[in-house]
A and B are shown apart, each in its own frame.
Chain A
Amino acid sequence: EVQLVESGGGLVQPGASLKLSCVASGFTFSDYWMSWVRQTPGKTMEWIGDIKYDGSYTNYAPSLKNRFTISRDNAKSTLYLQMSNVRSEDTATYYCTRNTMRGVMDAWGQGASVTVSS
């Protein structure tokens, strides 16, 4: 069974950094592109970016590119999202997803909740 389990969320102060992790199981992690998507409390969905199966290439939403970094460790079957200089508008649930063909996200984690507040 395909499983994606996010962790690392919580309450963080504006301007701080936070790193989310997503541990994958039930499939060969190194065969798949992976993405991060977030959903605001108002339910707006936003694609953050994705990373190639070998970690050699990434795409980002331009609005987040300067503050968010996606990486992966295939030996640990783990996807990461490094968030820096967080703002209140980064408050959201963050999902990691497995991608099949271009942008088709066929498996989602349960989400990690991030709240940015002082």
Chain B
Amino acid sequence: GDSVTQTEGQVALSEEDFLTIHCNYSASGYPTLFWYVQYPGEGPQLLFRASRDKEKGSSRGFEATYDKGTTSFHLRKASVQESDSAVYYCALSDRYGSSGNKLIFGIGTLLSVKP
């Protein structure tokens, strides 16, 4: 079945550091890819999405590029701030694949940023 792999369970950085969170996917169809962010005490919220190969999604200084060749959608930010501390989830939806209209999430990456 469809799946999402996030290799980093936790990431600890200092302010102004560069961030990369890796996300690879496996899907039988042509999925839409998402990044969600969850701040402490809140539910996850959409950061951005991408639906086509080479499409770049971006929001709040974060970005990721859909790469069908490497089946990846890595999250990057050039300079993190303490306020970026949160859990980040990569997810996919593959309407014509095994997951149908459902969203499949990765395990999440806890980002902690020190001032």
Q: Are A and B co-members of a single complex?
A: no
